[in-house]
Amino acid sequence: MSSTASDLKKILGKGKVIDDPAIVKLYSKEPSGMEGEGAIAVVFPESVEDVRRIIRYAYETSTPVYPQGSSTSLAGSAVPFERGIVISMERMKKIHEVNLVDGVAIVDPGIRIDDLNVELARYGYMFPVDPASSSVATVGGAINSGAGGMRGAKYGTMRDWVLGLELVLADEDATLLRVGCKTVKCRQGYDLTRLIVGSEGTLGIVTKATLRITPLPEQVVYILAFYDKLEDLAQTVVDLKASRITPLIAEFMEARTVELAKKLANVEIDAEGHMLLVGVDVYREAAERMLRLLEETARKNNAKKVYKAWSTEEAEEKGLFAIRRNLFTSQVYYTRQRLGKENVHVLIEDIVVPPSRLVEAVKRLDEITRKYGFTLILGGHIGDGNLHPAVGYDPEDEEEKKRVHDWYMEVMKLALELGGSMSAEHGIGVMKKEGLRMEAEALGSPKMLDLMRGIKQVFDPKGILNPGKVV
Amino acid sequence: MQSNGAEALRAYIRAETSKCMFCGFCEALCPTLYHGPHRGYGPRGRVNLARLIARGEASFTSDVVESMYSCLLCKACHLKCPGGIDIVGVVRATRSLYVLSQEVSA
């Protein structure tokens, strides 16, 4: 047993430290395909005091710590590369308070987003930020990665829904800091709450969060429409906006992706062409009018097929979500077919462009992907301009890995060229550090990185919090 | 005979577990995950521990054995795995490897 693990066992007591190398490896990787070799042990705090004890020890001994939720990051945010301790927040998962009058929920960082929503649904409420990994992703992980989701166009991202935070700082006393309020209006000098959101565990260890919550929609109506021309699909969304409609979700998939995904979806939907899925939350009395408007707008813009659903339940039954849900899986199966092997990796990019540049972005992405000899799998949140182009590759083929990296860089450059950003909701981690530098330069603001390094230095003078990430 | 059997099991486990991309979607439906002390009590953990065992990169420590034997074999995780991994098959094969390893050492 390493002296670090043995020290931690003494400090924390029984059952909160694991240093079995096999179990430690379960906390050393993530779906991006990245894996670190640095973790000595995984610690499982069960209280704020446990977190403070760990941080005091880490500070004293200058040992790096890697806070983790469920390790579903796609940017290398939670991987332990240097010798250090993984802090898994999975045992701190209480819901402390749900207050409907104040419209807040106060929760531990280790609760999974879907589990929180199951509880909130009992009161007719929800926490609306819904990353694709919401069944696994924890609130703490989503706060630290600044996560978004399908409902981003209507509800924004984590930074719009975190009102206050409690965190442990990486100083000699492991100071417990509380920032933010329990109210939407809050002018507490510099906005430290928003600074922590998206900081990827590099500035402090979040131990509690005050979240805004919102009522569940009374009813949601949906259309699923297919188009020959991407311009027509995009115009449908523009027309809906002109009709003063903000959809709850507005998802699209490019035609070839639809073709691959429908093979796996096993639904009776005549899916051909570019796909648009729109859901609008309404009061029951308005459902018929809204559904008619959605269908008419799609048909006016040359949709070939339009499927409708009066509710989320009906949309599930008819399989309206099935093709979209197979976006990621289709890339996996397609790549396995292409390479003739089971062990493949899929790189899911995450860029955002102004919605007005979306059609251009899709065309350019296809060109770039062809240039590098890959097949583009593309879906995205058309309402907020967030695109997730993905390519599959052979992780054992060095030449192909190099090509994927070059593709990745060029996709980020495209986002900047079109006035967007190289990261929308997945964060920076290690994979997008180069992208962040490019974006700072594109904005003519390399000083941005100096400011970020300065902030990091103030919060974490010894550089022990998730080292090597973000800046 | 035993070593051939073990090699066949290892080959099967290697092939199945190579499909795992660590997304963790399987964990949402697992009835045992929250009853254990770590990620190894869920399907993502079991698949990745099995992979390490099959590659000879881990041994049957008490944590690993408990991970495999705490699985209820209910296949709930199969409904969510985007890679289509036969997770329960992997757990059964890993248990068989463990039994073989005990016979050899006895």
Q: Give CA–CA dist A355/A186, Å, rounded.
A: 31
A184 lies in a domain? Answer: yes
Average pLDDT rounded to a whole number, residues A269-286: 95
Residues in Cβ contact with A427 at an 8 Å cutoff, skipping those fewer than 6 apart = A73, A75, A77, A144, A145, A146, A198, A200, A470
- Does residue A286 surpass a pLDDT of 70? yes
The nearest alpha carbon in chain A to B46 belongs to A26
Ordered alpha helix ranges (H), A344-469 = 358-371, 398-417, 433-442, 447-459
On whether the CB atoms of residues A15 and A23 are closer than 8 A, the answer is: no
Task: Name the residue with tokens 């399987």.
Answer: B26
User: In the structure encoding, which two tokens stand for residue A250, read together?
Assistant: 């507005």
pLDDT at A260: 87
Q: DSSP string covering A135-201, please?
A: TT-BHHHHHHHT---TTHHHH--GGGTEEEEEEE-SSTT--EEEEE-SSS----SS-HHHHHTT-TT
Residue A25 or A266, more confident:
A25
Per the CB < 8 Å rule, is B39 touching A345? no
Partner-chain contact B25 A42, CB within 8 Å? no
The reply to whether A363 and A446 lie within a common domain is yes
Tokens of A332: 């996996």
Cross-chain Cβ contact B25/A136 below 8 Å: yes
- pLDDT at residue B3, rounded to an integer: 64
Q: Write the pLDDT tens digit of every residue in A89-101.
A: 999 999 999 999 9
Summarize the confidence of residues A164-192 as an average pLDDT.
97
Query: What is the domain extent for residue A188?
Result: 95-215
- Reading the block at residue A203, the tokens are 């500035």
Residue A191: CB atoms within 10 Å: 14
Cα A273 to Cα A103, A225, A261: the distances in Å are 42, 9, 12
Q: Is the pLDDT of residue A345 over 90?
A: no
Q: Has residue A293 been placed in a domain?
A: yes
Say what the pLDDT of residue B103 is. 82
Task: Please name the member of A31, A88, A343 whose beta carbon is closest to the beta carbon of B23.
Answer: A31
Q: Which two tokens stand for residue A382?
A: 């058309």
Q: Cβ(A387)–Cβ(A422) under 8 Å?
A: no
As a whole number, the mean pLDDT across chain A is 95
A347-360 pLDDT, tens digit each: 999 999 998 898 89
Residue A80 lies in a domain: yes
Residues A164 and A117 in one domain: yes
Residue A36 CA to residue A76 CA, distance in Å, equals 9
Residue A362 forms part of a structural domain: yes
Same domain, A320 and A333: no
Quickly state the pLDDT bin for A330 (edges 50, 70, 90).
Answer: confident
Domain match, A414 and A428 both: yes
C-beta separation of A48 from A168 below 8 A? yes
Exposure of A244 by Cβ count < 10 A (0-12 exposed, 13-18 middle, 19+ buried)? exposed
Same domain as A444, residue A332:
yes
Contact A29, A39 (CB under 8 A): no
Strand ranges, E, within B13-88? none
Tell me, yes or no, whether A449 and A339 share the same domain: yes
CA angle A422, A145, A331 (to 5 degrees): 60
Chain B contact set for A90 (CB, 8 A) = 39
Statement: residue B2 has pLDDT above 60 = no
* Mean pLDDT (chain B, rounded): 93
Assess whether A272 and A189 both reside in one domain.
no
CA distance A426 to chain B (A): 14
CATH code of the domain containing A138: 3.30.465.10
Q: A-side interface with B, Cβ within 8 Å? A: 15, 18, 20-23, 25-27, 29-31, 33, 42, 44, 70-72, 88, 90, 112, 114, 133, 135-136, 328-329, 332, 342-343, 345-346
Considering only CB atoms, which chain A residues are within 8 Å of B63? 18, 20, 22-23
Alpha carbon A394 to its chain's center = 24
Question: Does residue A70 fall inside a structural domain?
Answer: yes
Tell me how many domains chain A contains: 4
Residue B105 is predicted with a pLDDT of 65
Return the closest-CA partner of residue B53 out of B9, B5, B102, B105.
B9
Amino acid at A87: I
| Claim to verify: residue A413 and residue A365 sit in the same structural domain | yes
**What torsion, rounded to 10 degrees, do the Cα atoms A270, A305, A390, A29 define?**
-70
Is residue A211 in a domain? yes
Distance in angstroms (rounded) separating the CA atoms of residues B69 and A149: 36
A375-415: per-residue pLDDT in tens? 888 998 888 899 999 999 998 899 999 999 999 999 999 99
A237: domain CATH number?
3.30.70.2190
Q: What is the rounded distance in angstroms from the CA atom of residue A376 to the CA atom of residue A149? A: 21
CB atoms < 10 A from the CB of A131, how many? 23
Q: What are phi and psi of B83, to 5 degrees?
A: -90, -5
User: Which residue in the block uniquely carries the two structure tokens 């719009």?
Assistant: A160
Q: What's residue B1's pLDDT?
A: 42
Q: What is the ipTM of this complex?
A: 0.95
CATH number assigned to the domain comprising residue A27: 3.30.43.10
- Residue A467 · residue A82 · CB < 8 Å: yes
Domains identified in chain B and CATH numbers: 2-105 (1.10.1060.10)
Q: What percent of chain A has pLDDT over 90?
A: 85
What CATH number corresponds to the domain at position A395? 3.30.70.2740
In a domain, A342, yes or no: yes
* Residues in chain B whose Cβ is within 8 Å of chain A: 15, 18-19, 21-25, 27-28, 37-40, 44-45, 48-49, 52-53, 57-59, 61, 63-64, 80, 82-83
How far is the C-alpha of A16 from the C-alpha of A389, rounded, in Å? 40
Any domain includes A65: yes
Domain co-membership, A354 together with A372: yes
pLDDT in tens, A433-452: 999 999 999 999 999 999 99
Of A165, A198, A215, the residue at which a domain comes to its end is A215
Q: Is the pLDDT of residue A374 over 60?
A: yes
Last residue of a domain, one of A181, A198, A215: A215
Q: Give the model's pLDDT for residue A18.
A: 97
Query: Do A69 and A114 fall within a single domain?
Result: no
Domain shared by A171 and A189, yes or no: yes
pTM for the model:
0.94
CA-CA distances (angstroms) from residue A454 to A203, A433, A448, A459, B77?
Answer: 11, 16, 10, 9, 45
Per-residue pLDDT tens for A131-176?
989 999 999 999 999 999 989 889 999 999 999 999 999 999 999 9
Looking at A54, A89, A124, the residue that finishes a domain is A89
**Residue for token pair 């705090």:** A45
* Shared-domain flag, residues A55 and A99: no
A206 closest CA partner among A215, A216, A197: A197
Q: Give tens-digit pLDDT for A1-37.
A: 679 999 999 999 989 999 999 999 999 999 988 999 9
3-state helix, strand, coil in chain A (%, to 5): 40, 20, 40
Tell me, what's the pLDDT at A359? Answer: 87
